[in-house]
Amino acid sequence: MGETDKDDLISIIEEEDPETNIPTTLPMMPVRDVVIFTDMLLPLFVGREKSVNAIEEAIGKDRYLFVATQVDPNIENPKAEEIYRIGTVSRILRMLKLPDGRVKALVQGIAKAKISKYLRKRSLFRVKIEIIEEPESSVVDLEAEALMRNVREYSEKILTLRGEYTNEVGSILSSIDDPGRLADLVASNLRLKIDEAQTIIEIIDPIQRLKKVNDLLFREVELSAMQAKIQSEVKDEISKSQKDYFLREQVRAIHRELGELDERTQEIEEYKAKIKRARMPQEAKAEAEKQLRRLEQMHPDSAEASVVRTYLDWMVELPWKKSTTDVIDMKKAKAVLDADHYGLEKIKDRILEYLSVRKLNPDTKGPILCFVGPPGVGKTSLGRAIANAMKRKFVRISLGGIRDEAEIRGHRRTYIGALPGRIIQGLKQAGSNNPVFMMDEIDKLGADFRGDPSSALLEALDPEQNGEFSDHYLNLSFDLSKVMFILTANISDTIPSALLDRMEVINLSGYTEEEKKIIAQTHLVPRQVKENGIKPRQIRFSEGAVLQVIREYTCEAGLRNLERELGSLCRKIARRIAEGEKGPFQVTRQSLEKYLGPPKYYPELDKEESQVGLSTGLAWTQVGGEVLYVEASIINGKGEMILTGQLGEVMQESARAAMSYARFNIGEFGVKDEIFENRDIHIHVPAGAIPKDGPSAGIAMATALISALTGRAVNKDVAMTGEITLRGRVLPIGGLKEKALGALRAGITTVIIPEKNKPDLVEIPRNVKRKITFIPVKNMDQVIDIALEPAPPKKAPKAKKKAAIRKKS
């Protein structure tokens, strides 16, 4: 009982004041969840027997009934003390008996009253009451007026916030000008808690009551406003971060309904399929799936999502299980190697041996090959040929200048823009897990605070551990055991020794003019002609032209620039053909300048004159062998030695040794030791921008010094290489073949070499030996005999001091 129907609440029945006739003894009905105020209309469902009896008694008399509220609404049969004492005398306006014995009654509050006594009656409550008279508030003062206005405004606000405000309500509120009645009306509609409503009804003074109602209203307004604010804030928040999400979810739902896949689902599905296809090992697959689940949860446009996407892309594209089948046919392999490479017999033999072993024992963990030689001698093309011969994929990475371990092993994913290391990158590029993997320039690996790349490299190369090569970016291990690594370097000196130990070094040296000519005619020219879209019959190179390109347009150990020059020549001709000329075109010595411009090198002019204090050494550099001029001058000073030309430590020491030797032995040449007293000795090695090091220029420096001290010129056609000791012994050096080729290019005819290097002469191509005389020597005396020209006539001028300048352009 006691359910209220609030729609009907606000309505006032204008009737004659019935208060006067109210009896003092009335049946009483306790109600559970409502407090009835004066004038309030309230429909009630009455079920409790005592209450039905009370209603029936009231109906039987004058329809008056006292309605009071229970303290605790949950009690079924409240006792007298469990019912509030102040309540409202009400009149039953209508009553309807329901078939189930319950009664529906419409009651109206008439007057406030207080129970003064419970009269004993078992079947119903009957009470004696005292009507509570309200003090008359005929004069509504200013304060009351303000209060009423406030209450009206607040009420309207609340009703508006609740969406319950209507014009009718508005006019009722403004029509009431009695503070007490206004208080009751508003209180009855405020949805107050029972105890609060009861507090109000118990305040007798109308102004006080209105004040209390005003307070409650105020609280309610604040609460409602706060609630509205919180709600809108939450809504804002949601709309900012989630609106997109909801919309997208809706779109997805729509797509699902239509049987289509939206972009996002499609992406996820695609990744799922790709992960399946990638045939990853268990551990990798688990990781990929985990990341995919993360991606699914993420906002698709977030930065993190793109990080995860990149990672997944890497994971699915790596050749975890993809490999090519080795086909090793020795005859074909030989044919492939021969077709692409002229000469290099020893090297091709070694490669064929290597392949044979692979063929017989595919599981062999053979040595790692390392091709060492100047640029353009065919290291890369040999690597490619090996891959071709085995029908494997070929990839190539350069390690030059790498100082950071992460370049090899990748950055951890927490770095912005992190990527896997170059090895994993190379494998992705290869698309198979057993490519021929060439790593260039391992002699130019660096190491610093960012870790040592060579140790990471070792892990990749070492057959014992590379089955589980770990990359920081993948955060997983990848099996590199099937990869065939080939390393390349220009010189072997600077290869980290830990790596060098594990490799088989195959030296490739530069080519002689003869060889270059043949390679150009058989390989480079046909290739360039074809690449530039020229038909072979449209163009003819004379032999002389090819030689001239080699001699005057290039100066190198390998073939790179030669190929480039030939390429640019072919392009020029291709243009003429494209412009309509018929040809055929003859490329001859005479027409060369027209295509390639003036020569870049003049080998004859490049050579120095025989001079005092100028000797010719031989250097073994990154780009092959080269001649190296050493200048020595005696100038006024205090007996000091000046070294210039970016000499490394070893070379400086070598210069000092040469100096000491010269000083010790100068007497033999008829020069007095006093010469050192007020003179400085300056040794300079031109081309100062290039750092030079090593001991092999020792004898060249000693020769230049003695030449300067004695005034005997050094023969311009003689070059020399060898380390010097204090006693003038000549010690062996490395890179003789390269140096010999360098000397040949520079037009040298005699090369002095250490006796101990004599066995290396076998390596020197025959046509080089035909043009150059190699003279092995044991000590400095022999060097001087060969290199220095006889002493000039007595009155000849002193040592020439002018610094020689190379005329290379």
Report, as residue numbers or ranges, the catalytic residues. Answer: 696, 739
Please state, in angstroms and rounded to a whole number, the distance separating the CA atoms of residues 784 and 791: 12
Start-end of H helices in 43-100: 49-60
The vertex-675 CA angle with 670 and 681, nearest 5°, equals 115
Our CB check for ligand ADP shows the closer of 333 and 659 to be 333
- Taking the complex as a whole, the smallest distance from the CB of residue 443 to ligand ADP amounts, in Å, to 13
Burial class (CB in 10 A: 0-12, 13-18, 19+), 484: buried
- Taking the complex as a whole, the smallest distance from the CB of residue 530 to ligand ADP amounts, in Å, to 13
Q: Which residues of 108-118 are buried (b: 16+ CB within 10 A; e: fewer)?
A: bbbbbbbbeee
Please state, in angstroms and rounded to a whole number, the distance separating the CA atoms of residues 119 and 122: 10
Our CB check for ligand ADP shows the closer of 380 and 568 to be 380
Please state, in angstroms and rounded to a whole number, the distance separating the CA atoms of residues 801 and 447: 43
671 C-beta neighbours (distance < 10 Å), count: 16
- Taking the complex as a whole, the smallest distance from the CB of residue 547 to ligand ADP amounts, in Å, to 17
Q: How many CA atoms lie within 13 A of 429 on its CB side?
A: 14
Our CB check for ligand ADP shows the closer of 124 and 377 to be 377
Burial class (CB in 10 A: 0-12, 13-18, 19+), 170: middle
83 C-beta neighbours (distance < 10 Å), count: 22
- Taking the complex as a whole, the smallest distance from the CB of residue 586 to ligand ADP amounts, in Å, to 24
Which residue's Cβ lies closest to ligand ADP?
378
Our CB check for ligand ADP shows the closer of 214 and 512 to be 512
Nearest Cα neighbor of 804 from 636, 625, 646, 605 is 605
Residue type, 545: A
- DSSP assigned state of 549: I
Length of the chain: 809
Please state, in angstroms and rounded to a whole number, the distance separating the CA atoms of residues 319 and 435: 10
Residue recorded with tokens 């072919």: 570
Our CB check for ligand ADP shows the closer of 150 and 561 to be 561
Strand partners, 631: 614, 684
- CA 315 to centroid of chain Cα atoms: 14
Q: What is the dihedral of CA 280, 283, 284, 285, to 10 degrees?
A: 60
- Taking the complex as a whole, the smallest distance from the CB of residue 383 to ligand ADP amounts, in Å, to 8
The alpha carbon dihedral of 376, 377, 379, 381 has a sign of positive
Nearest Cα neighbor of 192 from 155, 149, 148 is 155
- DSSP assigned state of 481: T
- Taking the complex as a whole, the smallest distance from the CB of residue 563 to ligand ADP amounts, in Å, to 5
The alpha carbon dihedral of 772, 776, 782, 784 has a sign of positive
Q: Which helix (H) or strand (E) holds 286?
A: helix 282-297
User: From the CA atom positions of the chain, what is the Rg in Å?
Assistant: 54
- Taking the complex as a whole, the smallest distance from the CB of residue 436 to ligand ADP amounts, in Å, to 13
Our CB check for ligand ADP shows the closer of 410 and 426 to be 426
For residue 422, CA distances in Å to 284, 288, 381, 471, 595 come to 19, 21, 21, 10, 41
Our CB check for ligand ADP shows the closer of 368 and 733 to be 368
Q: What is the dihedral of CA 259, 265, 269, 270, to 10 degrees?
A: 110
Our CB check for ligand ADP shows the closer of 324 and 488 to be 488
Contact between 606 and 648 (Cβ < 8 Å): no
Q: Which helix (H) or strand (E) holds 338?
A: helix 330-340
- Taking the complex as a whole, the smallest distance from the CB of residue 341 to ligand ADP amounts, in Å, to 4
- Interaction site with ligand ADP (CB under 6 A): 341-344, 375-381, 519, 523, 558-560, 563
Please state, in angstroms and rounded to a whole number, the distance separating the CA atoms of residues 556 and 113: 122
- The residues near 53 (Cβ < 8 Å, ≥ 6 apart) are 27, 123, 124
554: tokens are: 């290039």
Our CB check for ligand ADP shows the closer of 523 and 551 to be 523
Q: Which residues of 736-766 are buried (b: 16+ CB within 10 A; e: fewer)?
A: bbbbbbbbbbbbbebbbbbbebeebeeebbe
Our CB check for ligand ADP shows the closer of 342 and 541 to be 342
- Taking the complex as a whole, the smallest distance from the CB of residue 387 to ligand ADP amounts, in Å, to 13
- Taking the complex as a whole, the smallest distance from the CB of residue 388 to ligand ADP amounts, in Å, to 12
Contact between 12 and 84 (Cβ < 8 Å): no
Contact between 438 and 383 (Cβ < 8 Å): yes
- Taking the complex as a whole, the smallest distance from the CB of residue 564 to ligand ADP amounts, in Å, to 10
Please state, in angstroms and rounded to a whole number, the distance separating the CA atoms of residues 567 and 532: 8
- Taking the complex as a whole, the smallest distance from the CB of residue 340 to ligand ADP amounts, in Å, to 6
Phi-psi region of 25 (alpha: psi -120 to 50; beta: other; left: phi over 0): beta
Our CB check for ligand ADP shows the closer of 341 and 482 to be 341
- The residues near 141 (Cβ < 8 Å, ≥ 6 apart) are none
Our CB check for ligand ADP shows the closer of 207 and 377 to be 377
- Taking the complex as a whole, the smallest distance from the CB of residue 363 to ligand ADP amounts, in Å, to 29
Our CB check for ligand ADP shows the closer of 4 and 488 to be 488
